[in-house]
Amino acid sequence: MTNREIKISFQEYTSVKELDTDDQSLCNEAVKAMVNSHSPYSKFRVGAALRLQSGKIIHGSNQENVAYPSGLCAERVALFYWGANHPDDPIESMAVTAHTDEFILNKPVTSCGSCLQVIAEYEKKQNKPIKTILFCKDGPVWVTRGIESFLPFLFFEDRLS
Ligand code: THU
């Protein structure tokens, strides 16, 4: 038996102001995206913004439903919009933020497993990693280069052959 370890690396910044101007403005877009969050049940607003290779920005926000499982996370709202409307314009980066009036968020939200799986699918589709920037107003900023930092044991199609 051999014990093996996988190291996951990401960058931590103390504030959005430390990011380059493109990333800072993408974070501002994620904040704007939160405005249309429909979250009457959790009262937890999430905003996501994608920057495409052409420079186009796509917004997504969490959309909840009284039938809870019918709702969708901000990341997938933005990612599926991209898949449906701009699949030939690769996603370079995604910024995600959240806010609630119920308590102070001092750590960024990290995407749920279903959103991670969708990021994985689209990285494969566009054959390019998606840089992800996770941040909140009163906490650090976490930046990863792509899905492998989140899902090192991702299922890859090559295992099927
Ligand atoms: N949510 C997101 O939109 N993205 C995440 O990364 C985590 C959770 C939403 C789903 C639900 O509307 C609310 O946040 C509380 O879970």
User: How many Å lie between the centroid of ligand 1 and the Cα of residue 73?
Assistant: 5
| pLDDT for 159 beyond 80 | no
Enumerate residues lining ligand 1, CB below 6 A: 39, 42, 44, 46, 62, 64, 71, 73-75, 109, 111-112, 115
Residue 144 lies in a domain: yes
Whether 160 is in a domain gets the answer no
pLDDT category, 152, cuts 50, 70, 90? Answer: confident
- Residue 109 domain flag: yes
The atom of ligand 1 lying closest to the CA of 37 is 12
Q: Which pair of structure tokens corresponds to residue 151?
A: 């899902």
Does residue 157 lie in a domain region?
Answer: no
Between CA 70 and CA 82 the distance in angstroms is 20
Domain of residue 95 covers 11-149
Mean pLDDT (the chain) is 95
Closest CA to 125 of 78, 72, 101, 89: 89
Q: Are 156 and 123 in contact (CB under 8 A)?
A: no
Task: With a cut of 80, say whether residue 86 has pLDDT above it.
Answer: yes
What's the rounded Cα separation, in Å, for the pair 14 and 138? 10
Rg (CA), the chain: 16
> Does residue 77 surpass a pLDDT of 80?
yes
Q: How many domains does the chain have?
A: 1
Q: Is 125 within a domain?
A: yes
Q: Is residue 5 part of a domain?
A: no
- Best residue among 109, 117, 119 to mutate for probing ligand 1's pocket (most ligand atoms within 8 Å of CB) is 109
- The confidence score (pLDDT) of residue 108 equals 96
Which residues participate in catalysis according to the annotation?
A: 75
In a domain, 143, yes or no: yes
Residue 156 has pLDDT above 90, yes or no: no
Q: Per the confidence metrics, is the pTM higher than 0.85?
A: yes
The answer to whether position 161 is within a domain reads no
The CA 159 to ligand 1 mean position distance, Å, reads: 31
Give distance in angstroms: CA of 148 to centre of ligand 1: 21
Whichever domain contains 74, its CATH number is 3.40.140.10
Is the CB of residue 99 less than 8 Å from the CB of residue 137?
A: yes
Determine the residue type at 76.
R
Closest Cα to atom 9 of ligand 1: 73
